[in-house]
Amino acid sequence: MVTVQVDIESQYVKPVLGWLWGAQNGGFFYGFELGWQFPSNNKTKIKTSQDFTGNPDYDQLIDDIKEVADLIGKSSVPNVGLIKTGWFF
């Protein structure tokens, strides 16, 4: 049995559009925002409990895992902030 650990690291750029209301000269504010996260600099690290390099089944397994992890790390996703609260000073 082989245990596999996958670490996916990505940086994101997230443009948003939203609205704030409540505080004019300081105080509580409320708001919402809608945006989209675009990944960049995707890095995938795969660690296994045992190394069977050279075994065709093992090599195929690692290739399949890397392909799926890269797909996840490169996927863009929506970002919705329905309730945003805070305090302006």
Residue-level pLDDT at 67: 94
DSSP 22: S
CA nearest to 48, candidates 5, 86, 81, 88? 5
Residue-level pLDDT at 56: 92
Q: Does the pLDDT of residue 23 top 80, yes or no? A: no
Q: What is the pLDDT averaged over residues 58-71?
A: 92
If one counts every other C-beta atom within 10 angstroms of the C-beta of residue 83, the result is 7
Residue-level pLDDT at 1: 80
Residue 55 in 3-state DSSP?
A: coil
First-to-last alpha carbon distance for the chain, in angstroms, is: 57
